[in-house]
């Protein structure tokens, strides 16, 4: 069992001695370790049971610190950094010397982000190294949005989790890379593409759907709630599978199943609320009296796109 608390001093001393700590961010909880220490990075891959070809994001608390990790910042990246950090946005930038290859899985770019969470910003301000922090879930499982979620699956492998309350965004950061003057979104996430395009103009969207990624990014099957998830028209699917032992995930709509067997992600149709609820709901239905989860897609806009992406991955086998 890990200890759950708000003692930043304790987190600092663990991280300084190469140990891992669960940390809150506005997107999801992270499993953090010293991003410049190969042993700490190795521990992260081990604790998550994550393949080493899937690189980690480095977190810091200032653009000054980011500059030390990269060779240069293209104009569009600088604009996004100025306007959207701290926030749910990760930038892929050419890494400077001294960044461990283990962090970036041997790639030439490093993923960097300044998270928007008071506790983690204070923690990062007290460290003279960046924190590598993937989502704090076992590889392939649903991301954690509360300290208790981290405890539930990784608590036996780490000693401390900083508790920053429930995550205010609830989806991982949007990942953007740059090639010359072109910006490409590699993962849909908590920062809406519409907002990014208002700042830097049109962006490409290239989401890696491969189940055998040559270029790491996103594995197709991910966010698996431990149950089969059927995506599509819920009434139709209820006719096929019956109303017993099913979990229903809907958006601004209720269905004819027991109350404890359905979650309306947002009765008022609010995307932000749905984003905060999606991972918690997938976990909620990972229980013994449920055999199958039925879910419907949201409108394909704003955060709806990112939520749909997670639902599709959770549904893929």
Positions that interact with Mg ion (CB under 5 A): 135
Selection from ligand TXA, Mg ion, none that 296 binds (CB < 5 to 8 A by kind) is none
Selection from Mg ion, ligand TXA, none that 157 binds (CB < 5 to 8 A by kind) is none
For residue 18, the minimal CB distance to ligand TXA (Å) is 19
Q: Which two tokens stand for residue 158?
A: 């780490």
Q: Is 95 helix (H, G, I), strand (E, B) or coil?
A: strand
- Residue 131's DSSP bridge partners are 34, 59
Selection from ligand TXA, Mg ion, none that 55 binds (CB < 5 to 8 A by kind) is ligand TXA
Selection from Mg ion, ligand TXA, none that 115 binds (CB < 5 to 8 A by kind) is ligand TXA
Selection from ligand TXA, Mg ion, none that 57 binds (CB < 5 to 8 A by kind) is ligand TXA
Q: Confirm if 131 and 11 have CB atoms less than 8 A apart.
A: no
Q: Give the neighbor-by-neighbor strand order of the sheet with 21-23.
A: 3-5, 160-162, 21-23, 30-34, 131-132, 57-59, 109-113, 89-94, 174-179, 182-187, 204-205
Q: Which is nearer to ligand TXA, 45 or 285 (CB)?
A: 45
Q: Which is nearer to ligand TXA, 33 or 304 (CB)?
A: 33
Q: Residue number with the shortest CB distance to Mg ion?
A: 135
Q: Which is nearer to ligand TXA, 80 or 218 (CB)?
A: 218
Cα separation, 263 vs 257, whole angstroms: 10
> In the chain, what is the straight-line distance between the N-terminal and C-terminal CA atoms, in Å?
31
Q: Which two tokens stand for residue 101?
A: 């290859």
Residues binding ligand TXA (CB under 6 A) = 25, 27-28, 30, 54-57, 88, 90, 92, 104, 107, 109-111, 113, 115, 133-135, 172-173, 175, 216-218
For residue 288, the minimal CB distance to ligand TXA (Å) is 27
For residue 290, the minimal CB distance to ligand TXA (Å) is 25
For residue 171, the minimal CB distance to ligand TXA (Å) is 8
Q: Confirm if 29 and 149 have CB atoms less than 8 A apart.
A: yes
Q: Confirm if 93 and 109 have CB atoms less than 8 A apart.
A: yes
Sign of CA dihedral 241, 245, 249, 254: positive
Note the maximum CA span of the chain.
Answer: 59
Selection from ligand TXA, Mg ion, none that 93 binds (CB < 5 to 8 A by kind) is none
Q: Which is nearer to ligand TXA, 124 or 265 (CB)?
A: 124
């Amino acid at each position: 069992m890990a200890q759950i608390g708000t003692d930043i001093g304790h987190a600092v001393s663990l991280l300084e001695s190469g140990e891992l700590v669960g940390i809150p961010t506005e997107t999801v909880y992270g499993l953090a370790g010293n991003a410049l220490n190969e042993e700490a990075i190795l521990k992260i891959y081990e604790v998550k049971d994550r393949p080493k070809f899937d690189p980690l994001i480095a977190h810091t608390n200032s653009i000054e610190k980011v500059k030390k990790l990269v060779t240069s910042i293209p104009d569009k990246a600088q604009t996004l950094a100025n306007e959207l950090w701290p926030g749910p946005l990760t930038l892929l930038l050419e890494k400077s010397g001294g960044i461990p290859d283990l962090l970036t899985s041997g790639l030439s770019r490093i993923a960097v982000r300044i998270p928007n969470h008071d506790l983690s910003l204070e923690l990062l301000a007290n460290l003279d190294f960046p924190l590598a922090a993937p989502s704090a879930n076992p590889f392939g499982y649903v991301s954690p949005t509360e300290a208790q979620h981290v405890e539930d699956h990784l608590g036996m492998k780490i000693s401390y989790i900083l508790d920053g309350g429930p995550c205010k965004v609830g989806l991982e950061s949007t990942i953007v890379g740059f090639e010359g003057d072109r910006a490409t979104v590699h993962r849909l996430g908590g920062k809406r593409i519409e907002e990014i395009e208002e700042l830097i103009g049109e962006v490409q969207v290239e989401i890696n759907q491969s189940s055998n990624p040559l270029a790491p990014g996103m594995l197709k099957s991910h966010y698996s709630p431990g149950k089969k998830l059927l995506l599509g028209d819920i009434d139709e699917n209820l006719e096929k599978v019956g109303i017993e032992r099913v979990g229903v995930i809907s958006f601004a709509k209720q269905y004819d199943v027991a109350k404890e067997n359905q979650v309306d992600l947002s009765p008022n149709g609010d995307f932000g609320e749905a984003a905060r609820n999606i991972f918690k709901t997938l976990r909620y239905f990972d229980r013994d009296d449920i055999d199958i989860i039925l879910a419907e897609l949201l409108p394909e806009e704003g955060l709806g796109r990112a939520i749909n992406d997670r639902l599709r991955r959770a549904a893929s086998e």
